[in-house]
Amino acid sequence: MKVLHTSDWHLGRRLYGKKRYAEFEVFLNWLSDLIAIEEVDVLLVAGDIFDTSTPSNRAQELYYRFLCQVAALSCRHIVIIAGNHDSPSFLTAPQQLLKVLNIHVIGEAGEDPAAEVLTLKDSENIPQAIICAVPYLRDKDLRQAEAGESIEAKNTKMIAGLGNHYAAVAEIAESKLLETGNIPLIGMGHLFTAGGKTLADDGVRELYVGSLAHVSVEVFPACFDYLALGHLHVAQTVGNSSHIRYCGSPLPMGFGEANQDKQVIIIEFTSPTPAIREIIVPSFQSLKRITGDVSEIITQINSLKDANSSAWLEIIYNGKEVTANLRQLIDEAIADSHLEVLSLKNERIMAQVLERSHTRETLDDLNVQEVFDRCLDAHNVTESEKIELTFSYQEIVTALQQEDSNKE
């Protein structure tokens, strides 16, 4: 049996305002072709299918078209779990209809963990695998809030709650194994594990301070033959466990990811130890970050022009001279080429502005955390109080982000 593990598509995501639907479409077509060529039996999508809880019509069209394409192939089952960017109710609304196509969608944890345990069968109705499809677990799924709790107590409760949830799901799965015989037992999840690698602009929405960032590999039951994780955009194993993996995002979510090898993972269960292969995803749209003074930037642009590149550019000027006409120089340099500048940052001017007071800043210049930090500084809050207040603030922001606005 062959399984393909992918996650973090973030359909509908923009890059500096630039729409990327053509890029997403080419990727999904490539993935569909790969599934056909490899004769994949089961597709696992480990969360963050969409970039927002209210995806555009175009993003939805790409998603449902892909599901129809794959359902018509030899791939017998598709298992999808919700990530922290997804709306559970949106994903599960067509659940019963998709089930007819052997597409299983788990949007959120319910009262009965058995709902997250799926027995996948072949064309002759013989069990092929058992999937523990655990979606992104929200605060309310993991702990009962109590007044006056310390940060440490909250974190301890959340990690214990996550461990208990996985243990309950795994226990049900193992009982099913007694009925089905020795077939692969595969786990899924969408969370941040300890030591996970991230990048500055990879778009991974941080959970509030502490919390699930301290989840270690020991939390997961030892019974899984493979654990397909989502949330982190850098492909990596968890700890020293080669069978517990993040496949990473298939497209670079920001210029910081531009030089990464993106991948999907194929797991073949032909022996007691699964054979794991990393399949590199082609680059469908070149991203280039150019840094330097004017001369260095122009030289790099000319090199890209000579190569007939159609890259999207993030240009960072860090020269010593104040260059007021930087935009004009860049526009002239890329004229008559297929290059497109998505972002131009003049660090020299930015540094001058930052040396002044913050009086000219607008809310557009700051993110929500920076606004809160400025508020604490303005009220002379002590360092010890900042820790507690920051945790509480981020807890509130996370709760707002996790609210399923589509539910009713």
Mean pLDDT on 297-311: 95
* Structure-model confidence comparison of residues 3 and 212, the more confident one: 3
Q: DSSP letter at 209?
A: S
Backbone angles phi, psi at 227, to 5 degrees: -125, 110
| Residue 143 binned pLDDT confidence (cut-offs 50, 70, 90) | confident
Report which of 108, 134, 140, 102 is spatially closest to residue 121, judged by C-alpha positions: 102
Of 196 and 65, the structure prediction assigns the larger pLDDT to 65
Q: Cβ-count burial of 382 within 10 angstroms (0-12 exposed, 13-18 middle, 19+ buried)?
A: exposed
Decide if 54 contacts 13 (C-beta within 8 A).
Answer: no
Confidence at 348, pLDDT banded by 50, 70, 90: low
How buried is residue 17: exposed, middle or buried, by Cβ count under 10 Å (0-12/13-18/19+)?
Answer: exposed
For the chain, count helices (H), then strands (E): 11, 15
Kindly state the DSSP code that residue 15 receives in the 8-state scheme: B
Radius of gyration of the chain (CA): 23
pLDDT at 356 > cutoff 60: no
What are the φ and ψ backbone dihedral angles of 338, each rounded to 5 degrees?
-95, 5
Largest interatomic CA distance in the chain: 73
pLDDT at 406: 64
Q: What's the distance, Cα to Cα, between the start and end of the chain in Å?
A: 40
The 3-state secondary structure of 325-360 reads: CHHHHHHHHHCCCCCEEEEEEEHHHHHHHHHCCHHH
DSSP H helices, 51-186, are: 57-71, 88-92, 95-99, 139-142, 151-180
* d(C-alpha 82, C-alpha 116), whole Å: 12
Confidence of residue 357 (pLDDT cuts 50, 70, 90): very low
Note if the pTM is more than 0.75.
Answer: yes
> Chain-wide mean pLDDT for the chain?
86
CA dihedral sign, ordered 315, 12, 192, 151: positive
Top-confidence residue, 371 or 85? 85
pLDDT tens, position by position, 162-185: 999 999 999 999 999 999 888 999
Question: What is the Cα–Cα distance from 65 to 254, expressed in whole angstroms?
Answer: 26
pLDDT given for residue 212 in this prediction: 47
**Separation CA 209–CA 207 (nearest Å):** 7
Q: Find the angle CA(203)-CA(207)-CA(212) to the nearest 5 degrees.
A: 125
**pLDDT class of 401 with cuts at 50, 70, 90:** low
How do residues 218-271 score in pLDDT, each as one tens digit? 889 999 999 999 999 999 999 888 999 999 999 999 998 888 899 999 999 987
DSSP structural state of residue 379: T
Domains annotated on the chain, with CATH? 2-280 (3.60.21.10), 287-402 (3.30.160.720)
Strands of 169-300 (E only): list them. 185-190, 226-230, 236-238, 241-246, 263-268, 275-280, 287-292
Task: Quote the CA–CA distance of 233 and 130 in Å, as a whole number.
Answer: 26
Q: What is the mean pLDDT of residues 381-388?
A: 74
Nearest to 34 by CA among 273, 186, 250: 250
Distance CA(393)–CA(408), nearest Å, equals 26
> Do 252 and 287 form a contact (C-beta atoms < 8 A)?
yes
Q: Residue 94 pLDDT > 60, yes or no? A: yes
- Tens digits of per-residue pLDDT, 206-222? 543 344 456 788 889 99
CA distances from 406 to 55, 69, 374 (A): 11, 27, 33
